[in-house]
Chains A and B, each alone.
Chain A
Amino acid sequence: MNDGWTAYGVTLHSRLLLGTALYPSLEVMGRAVEASGAEVITVALRRQAPGSGGGRSFWDYVKGLGRRLLPNTAGCHSAREAVALAHMARELFETNWIKLEVIGDDYNLQPDPWGTVEAAAELVEAGFAVFPYCTDDLVFCKRLLEVGCQVLMPWGAPIGTGRGLLNPYALATLRERLPDVPLVVDAGLGRPSHAAMAMELGATAVLLNTAVARAGDPVAMARAFRHAVAAGREAFEAGIMPERQTASPSTPVAGTPFWHGEGRG
């Protein structure tokens, strides 16, 4: 992972972004962040009475981890709520970065495409660097780029499900059609192999929270994901062999004339 990637003019080397919620304790969270090597960590503040500074002790701890903070608007169900929270986050964390989440369905926390695009347009206008949480729908993603987003955060599966890449085809399509846009696969990754798979498909980075925070040993799991992301990225860069319909032995089988073989493995 020596090659970097760029988000809104900032060069990053780690391709793993980590959330800060749901850990057994703050201390475990801090050690997991350390072990993950993440340079960017997300912070939710919707439910912390941010208007009255309710989460200050927590925010100070998170700031103390020395990573670039990406506040999010998790828990917002309308563009208006999300925009208001983004402004609050900008003041509290002194960053114009915002991970935009506008939820359209409360049960599986699916993003609301209309609300997300509306809020993204308004936030870009107000000078924010918007990281929109979106589905893997190409048209939704294109609309987000049209209103000024420079990074996309398509889901792998609904938040917290840990189901991995439900639609690798759609993600591969995004990669192919939007080759220059950083794609951060966000949500739904449960295992390191899911993260590796996303990276193999050409994702620029992945964002995790539950899979690490709710592991038996979050610190070890953070490390495991770090390795998986690195492996997936390296595989992508190395060039992955195409899949084939028929098995093909990688060494000629004795007794078979070589011209009957279908190339080599």
Chain B
Amino acid sequence: MKCAEVVVAGGGIAGRLLAWRLLRGGRRVLLVDRDPAGGASAAWVAAAMLAPASEAVTSGPEVLAPGLAALEQWRQWLAELAADAGRVVPAGFTGSLVVAHPADRAELSWFAERLARIAGGEELAQSLDRAGLADLEPELGRFDGGLWLPREGWLDNRALFAALAEAIAVHGGQWLAAEVRAVFPGRVETDRGPLSCALAVDCRGFGAKGDWPALRGVRGEVARVRAPEVALSRPVRLLHPRYQLYVAPRPDRHYVIGATELESESLAGVTVRSALELLSALYSLHPGFGEAEILELAAHCRPAFADHLPRVAAEPGLLRANGLYRHGYLLGPALVESALAALAERPPAPPVRREEAPQLESVR
């Protein structure tokens, strides 16, 4: 049986961040994931928008304050990562845009009204006319206006995954490529045998469902394209009565288009209908996407609790952190802070809830 001080099960956004913070705090950490590159995690598939205002509109006001704080946290973390790993993670902090086609203009006023109500006097959005929109994103010429949410942004999640892996290695963290089967106090069961440790940390996202029955998967589908004819520097959200679609920029005119949201735990590939929805919305945003190259169509399940807010659970020898839902990057900082707080017997950071460790079906 291998021994480590801390074993983190799951190398997605939560596991990676938490391992890095624990290492920086002087702990010795072993990370276990069947794909150490992170390719098996929902956060790898994600578009990694940092959109506290728009997510507060669609998901609830609880995410606003922690989301705004997360943007500051990310700026700081990205600077620390650049120092640790020698890698600059591409990111943008110049806001996002919200637009709607003329037929759906009512959605735009609905969105602005809802946001104003949530913001309670704080100015989180500015209405733009055609000229104002063109100033910010000259290529969105087919829209006669929109909203600018200056306190939003994005980051390049795959570059972040690589930088975190590098930083973890720099701090002496170890990786084990193995499939985690279950996580117990002081023990992580894998397909390559059990691992014993002083502290087992369960960050498996949807993969932890077997050990935390209140979790459910909410399927999301995402497209990645390379569009040499399109130059957008900010994330753009396209409002529609039935779909929530956004395009997040990446370096080299790559774009991530997300995301469907289906009450399904299917991990099967992207359906034709979802691809049509995503891609037709994309094409309607800018005709230059017509000749874009489709690099990837991917589906995953976001880990969610019934209230769609993250939770930590701690008991001696065991810490679980999960339920980031569609907010891996927006609420990841709050979840990490709450997990570290739980280890120090301090209360969690809102909106994260702490609960007693879920009862395992068979404690061996």
Q: Interface on A for B, CB 8 Å cutoff?
A: 24-28, 30, 47-49, 52, 54-58, 61, 160-161, 216
Across chains A and B, the number of contacting residue pairs, with CB separation under 8 Å, is 59
10 more contacts with CB within 8 A, not counting A25-B306, A57-B265, are: A24-B308, A25-B309, A26-B306, A27-B307, A47-B273, A49-B219, A49-B264, A52-B268, A54-B264, A55-B264
A52/B216 contact (C-beta < 8 A), A25-B306, A26-B307 known: no
| Contact between chains at A216 and B114 (CB < 8 Å) | yes
How far apart sit A54 and B269, CA to CA, in the bound complex (Å)?
A: 13
Do most interface residues of chain B lie in helix, strand or loop, or is the interface mixed? Answer: loop
Specify which chain B residues have a CB less than 8 angstroms from the CB of A52 in the assembled complex: 266, 268
Can you name 20 A-B residue pairings with CB atoms under 8 Å? A24-B58, A24-B60, A25-B60, A25-B304, A25-B306, A25-B307, A25-B309, A26-B307, A26-B308, A27-B306, A28-B60, A47-B271, A48-B264, A49-B219, A55-B264, A57-B216, A57-B217, A58-B263, A160-B242, A216-B114
Q: Which B residues are in CB contact (< 8 Å) with A56?
A: 265
B248-307 interface (Cβ within 8 A of A): 262-266, 268, 271, 273, 304, 306-307
CA distance A24 to B308 in the complex (A): 8
Residues of A within 8 A of B127 (CB): none
Is B219 a contact partner of A54 (Cβ separation < 8 A)? yes
Q: Are B266 and A54 in contact (CB under 8 A)?
A: yes
CB proximity to A under 8 Å, residues B82-139: 114, 117
Name the A residues within 8 Å of B265 (CB-CB).
54-57
Chain B CB count within 10 A is highest, among A48, A54, A58, for: A54
Residue of A nearest to B271 (CB): A47
In the assembled complex, which residues on chain B have CB atoms less than 8 Å from the CB atom of A49? 219, 264, 266, 268
- Bound state CA distance, A160 and B216, in angstroms? 27
Tell yes or no: B25 within 8 A of A by CB. Answer: no
Chain A residues near B117 (CB-CB < 8 A): 216
Minimum CB–CB distance from B100 to chain A (whole Å) comes to: 15
Chain B residues positioned under 8 Å from A161 (CB to CB):
241
Complexed CA–CA distance, A61 and B219 (Å):
16
Contact status B59-A24, CB under 8 Å = yes
Interface pair A47/B308, CB less than 8 Å apart: no
Least Cβ–Cβ distance between B101 and chain A, in angstroms: 12
Distance of B160 from chain A, by nearest CB (Å): 27
Contacts of B308 in A (CB 8 A): 24-27
Which 3 pairs from chain A and chain B are nearest by CB? A57-B216, A54-B266, A49-B266
Cα distance A25–B308 in the bound complex, in angstroms: 6
Q: How far is the CA of A103 from the CA of B116 in the complex (A)?
A: 36
CB contacts (< 8 Å) of B264 on chain A: these are: 47-49, 54-55, 58
- Contact (A48, B306) CB under 8 Å given A25-B59, A57-B217: no
User: What's the least CB distance linking B95 to chain A, in Å?
Assistant: 23
CB-CB under 8 A for A48 and B307, given A24-B59, A54-B219, A57-B217: no
Q: Find chain B residues with CB under 8 A from A28 CB.
A: 60, 307
* Cβ contacts under 8 Å, B263 to chain A: 48, 55, 58
Q: Which residues from chain B contact A57 at a C-beta distance below 8 Å?
A: 216-217, 265
Distance between Cα atoms of A233 and B84 in the complex (Å): 68
